[in-house]
Structure 1
Amino acid sequence: MTRHALFVGGTRFIGRHAVREFREAGYDVTVFHRGEHESPFTDDEGVDHVRGDRTDDGDLADAAATDPDVVVDLVAYKPRDVRTATRVFDDVDAYVYVSSGAAYGAEEVPKREDETPLEPCSDEQATDDSHATYGARKAEGDRAVFAAAEEGVDALSLRPPVVYGPHDYTRRFDYWIQRVANYDRVLVPGDGTNLWHRVGVENVARALRVVAEEGRPGEAYNVGDWHVQTLRETIETVADAAEADVEVVTAGHRELAAGGLAPDDFPLYRDPPHLLDTNKLRSLGWEPVAPEDSIAETVEASPEREADEAQEGPDREAEERVLGVLDTL
Structure 2
Amino acid sequence: MDSAFVIGGTRFIGRHLVEDLLEHEYDVTIFNRGNHDNPFADDNRVDAIEGDRTNDSALEAAAETVDPDAVFDCVAYYPRDVRVGTNVFADADAYVYISSGDAYGREEIPKREDETPMRPCTNEQATDESDDTYGNRKSEGDRVVVEAAERGVNAMSVRPCIVYGPYDYTERLDFWIDRVLEYDRLVVPGDGTNIWHRAYVEDVASALRIVAERGTPGEFYNVGDRRLVTLDEMITLIADAAGESVEVVHAGPRELEAGGLSSEDYILYREYPHLLSTAKLAALGWESTPLEEAMARTVDEHRESDRDGSDHDPGREREERVLGILDTL
TM-score by length of 1: 0.98
1:49 is aligned to: 48
1:63 is aligned to: 62
* Structure-2 separation of matches of 1:240 and 1:275: 24
The C-alpha deviation readout for 1:57-98, integer Å capped at 9, x for no partner, is: 001102211110000000000000000110000000000000
CA drift at 1:313: 2.9
Match of 1:108, SS state, is coil
- The alignment-based identity, stated in percent, is 61
* Structure-2 separation of matches of 1:305 and 1:86: 36
1:14 is aligned to: 13
Preserved contact between residue 221 and residue 281 of structure 1 (Cα < 8 Å): yes
Match of 1:158, SS state, is strand
1:273 is aligned to: 273
CA drift at 1:185: 0.3
Match of 2:31, SS state, is strand
One-letter amino acid matched to 1:247? E
CA drift at 1:249: 0.6
The C-alpha deviation readout for 1:263-307, integer Å capped at 9, x for no partner, is: 121010012110000000000000110122111111111146899
243-252 vs 298-307, which moves further: 298-307
* Structure-2 separation of matches of 1:304 and 1:185: 23
Preserved contact between residue 18 and residue 208 of structure 1 (Cα < 8 Å): yes
2:28 is aligned to: 29
Preserved contact between residue 172 and residue 309 of structure 2 (Cα < 8 Å): no
Match of 1:311, SS state, is helix
CA drift at 1:177: 0.4
Preserved contact between residue 113 and residue 221 of structure 2 (Cα < 8 Å): yes
* Structure-2 separation of matches of 1:306 and 1:160: 26
Match of 1:156, SS state, is strand
1:291 is aligned to: 291
1:127 is aligned to: 127
Match of 1:49, SS state, is strand
2:101 is aligned to: 101
Match of 1:159, SS state, is strand
TM-score by length of 2: 0.98
Preserved contact between residue 121 and residue 139 of structure 2 (Cα < 8 Å): yes
> What are the residue-to-residue correspondences of 1:196-215 with 2, within 5 Å?
196-215=196-215
Preserved contact between residue 178 and residue 305 of structure 1 (Cα < 8 Å): no
CA drift at 1:46: 1.2
Preserved contact between residue 178 and residue 306 of structure 1 (Cα < 8 Å): no
The C-alpha deviation readout for 1:173-197, integer Å capped at 9, x for no partner, is: 0000000000000110100001000
Match of 2:275, SS state, is coil
Match of 1:272, SS state, is coil
2:257 is aligned to: 257
1:88 is aligned to: 88
1:226 is aligned to: 226
Match of 1:169, SS state, is coil
111-120 vs 40-49, which moves further: 40-49
Preserved contact between residue 308 and residue 316 of structure 1 (Cα < 8 Å): no
Preserved contact between residue 308 and residue 315 of structure 1 (Cα < 8 Å): no
Preserved contact between residue 171 and residue 308 of structure 2 (Cα < 8 Å): no
Q: Gaps spanning 5+ residues in structure 2: where?
A: none
* Structure-2 separation of matches of 1:266 and 1:154: 40
Residues 1:153 and 1:308: Cα distance change in structure 2 (over 3 Å): closer
Question: Number of residue pairs matched?
Answer: 328
1:324 is aligned to: 324
* Structure-1 separation of matches of 2:257 and 2:224: 32
One-letter amino acid matched to 1:39? N
* Structure-2 separation of matches of 1:308 and 1:5: 33
1:147 is aligned to: 147
Match of 2:311, SS state, is coil
Match of 1:276, SS state, is coil
Preserved contact between residue 3 and residue 28 of structure 1 (Cα < 8 Å): yes
* Structure-2 separation of matches of 1:110 and 1:190: 22
1:4 is aligned to: 3
CA drift at 1:222: 0.1
Preserved contact between residue 174 and residue 309 of structure 2 (Cα < 8 Å): no
Asked if 1:79 corresponds to 2:84, the answer is no
CA drift at 1:113: 0.1
Q: Gaps spanning 5+ residues in structure 1: where?
A: none
CA drift at 1:309: 5.8
Match of 1:302, SS state, is helix
